[in-house]
Amino acid sequence: MVKIAKLSGYIVFFILAFMYFTPKVALYYYGETRLKEQGVIISQESAIDNGLTLSIKDASLSFKAIESANIKDLNIAIFGIFNKISLKDIKLASTASDFLPTDIKSVDVSYALYDPLHVSANAEGDFGEAELDIDLLDRKLFLILKPSKVMSKDYRSTLRNLRKSKDGGYEYAKAF
């Protein structure tokens, strides 16, 4: 029993040490160059290694040379079994203001190894609350939106593109 506890302790220590000493900033910049090939450019950011997580501050996001969003705080936690990306204080570009409110308080994206075929996300902002599920095997996206009063009042044309659910929210499903 003691040998099993020691072995488990060594395994946990090795995994934590490996995660701590991984060059997260270098991996982030490598990922940024890979995204650039797809037309996604992240600029004006500062990357900070926090030991087990990586923080990105004041990032500007552009897609195919069109400024899309400014992200005040982005936190990446990759633990292998459970991975999470948290974004806070997002301001979308003014071109999006015709479709939805541009201020997003937070977005949490999670991926778990025990459910490898799904990516889930929760978002909260001036638009209300949203839950997103992406099925990687079937290549389907499913969104549940609980709109705020601002969204219900000022962005009715956007809500018309969504299907009204029984609980008063809105749903959107799309294959990609």
7-44 per-position pLDDT tens digit: 999 999 998 898 899 899 999 999 999 999 999 999 99
Task: Return the DSSP state at 96.
Answer: G
Could you report the per-residue pLDDT of 41-87, keeping only the tens digit for each?
999 999 999 999 999 999 999 999 899 999 999 999 988 789 999 99
Whole-number pLDDT of residue 125: 96
- Looking at the fold, whether 38 and 95 belong to one and the same domain comes out as no
- Looking at the fold, whether 95 and 171 belong to one and the same domain comes out as yes
140, 148, 156: which is closest to 123 by C-alpha? Answer: 148
- Looking at the fold, whether 60 and 94 belong to one and the same domain comes out as no
- Looking at the fold, whether 162 and 87 belong to one and the same domain comes out as yes
- Looking at the fold, whether 92 and 66 belong to one and the same domain comes out as no
Pairing of strands 40-43, 46-49: unpaired
Mean pLDDT value across residues 88-110: 94
- C-beta of residue 54 within 8 angstroms of C-beta of residue 28: yes
- Quick one: how many helices (H) and strands (E) in the chain? 4, 11
- Looking at the fold, whether 167 and 86 belong to one and the same domain comes out as yes
Domain range enclosing 91: 79-176
**Domain termination residue (choose one: 49, 72, 95):** 72
**For residue 87, what are its two tokens?**
């974004």
**Domain termination residue (choose one: 55, 72, 89):** 72
**Domain termination residue (choose one: 42, 72, 102):** 72
Pairing of strands 53-63, 66-78: antiparallel
Task: Return the DSSP state at 176.
Answer: -
The total domain count for the chain is 2
